[in-house]
Amino acid sequence: MNDANPKESVRALLAEIVDYAGLFPPSHLSMAESVNNYATYKNSRFSWMLGRFVAPVSRLDEFAESAKDSFSKNRDVWKLSVLAGEDIYETVQRIEDFNGKFSANAIADAFEIKAANALEIEHIAAPIPENLTAYFELPLDENLTDSIATLAAVRHRAKIRTGGTTPEAFPTAEQITCFMRICLAANVPFKATAGLHHPLRCQKPLTYEKNAPTGMMNGFLNVFLAAGFLQQEFESKLIRELLMDKREDNFLFTGDGVLWRQEYFISTPQLKHLRSRGAISFGSCSFVEPIDDLKEIGIL
């Protein structure tokens, strides 16, 4: 397959899907390395899969300094998703200052913040201007339904942590299903972060260090396709089986959509709707690893 011109269903599912988070574990790259990587990916034949550059609000000035040479070589405006600091008012002010200075080259139009419950969401949402989209990382606990209902009311988005550098950081298939089902029912778009370096569920080292612990990692194809089938009101048993599926031959991308297990189908228009209104992106400290794996299983 020509990876620069993938099947329409592949592009529908994977366009701008990876928010590049090279600054964060397990990569932990420097700002200069991360910016250089992002600039390289922007100019690669896989640029259509690249989403936002993820950076803490405290490092926006460092980002601008590191990226100034890259800006002059790229005509596209870079988009950033900013991790908020403890003070939401200061975070918003820093983002607005950054956009005022650098909007010709880069714009921070999204940010990510943690909230424990509906009351925290309401408090945090109050000073957020309309031109900023916030993703609220929520605990997968008894407050989840109320929290997502509040996000619907304040018109912001949800975020789920799908892994980490220890086995305990990975939510269960049931927890992921519950989160996505509530978001989709409430029309709250969401993103995922961590532990989704690989397309399909697999046992892998959890960091890049020698003798790193291994764990069962969720696959981004599993998660995003599960969200698509949840929109079609598939029963929880099938969604769990899809999230747990490790077999690459169970996933067939055609010109019209994706066929799972030669029986269950999601169309290309349904995938486009999912990506624009439901499952938005996932954060990853690697952009190369997902692409290499997609090549290995014949999707790219």
Percent of the chain with pLDDT over 70: 98
Of the CA atoms within 13 Å of residue 151, those in its CB half-sphere come to 30
Give the residue-averaged pLDDT of 30-44. 95
Q: CA 238, CA 182: separation in Å to the nearest integer?
A: 17
pLDDT for 2 equals: 45
- Each domain of the chain, given as residue ranges in start order, spans 8-296
Reply yes or no on whether the pLDDT at 3 is more than 60: no
The band of 74, judged by pLDDT with boundaries at 50, 70 and 90, is low
Give the residue-averaged pLDDT of 106-124. 97
Q: Strands across the sheet with 257-260, in order?
A: 251-253, 257-260, 264-267
pLDDT for 255 equals: 87
pLDDT in tens, 146-165: 999 999 999 999 999 999 88
The band of 247, judged by pLDDT with boundaries at 50, 70 and 90, is very high
The CATH number assigned to the domain with range 8-296 reads: 3.20.20.70
First to last CA, the chain: 6
Provide the token pair at 216: 């069962």
Residue showing tokens 């954060």: 283
pLDDT in tens, 161-183: 999 888 889 999 999 999 999 99
The band of 209, judged by pLDDT with boundaries at 50, 70 and 90, is confident
Question: What's the pTM value of the predicted model, to 2 decimals?
Answer: 0.95
What is the average pLDDT score of the chain?
A: 94
At 143, the amino acid letter reads: N
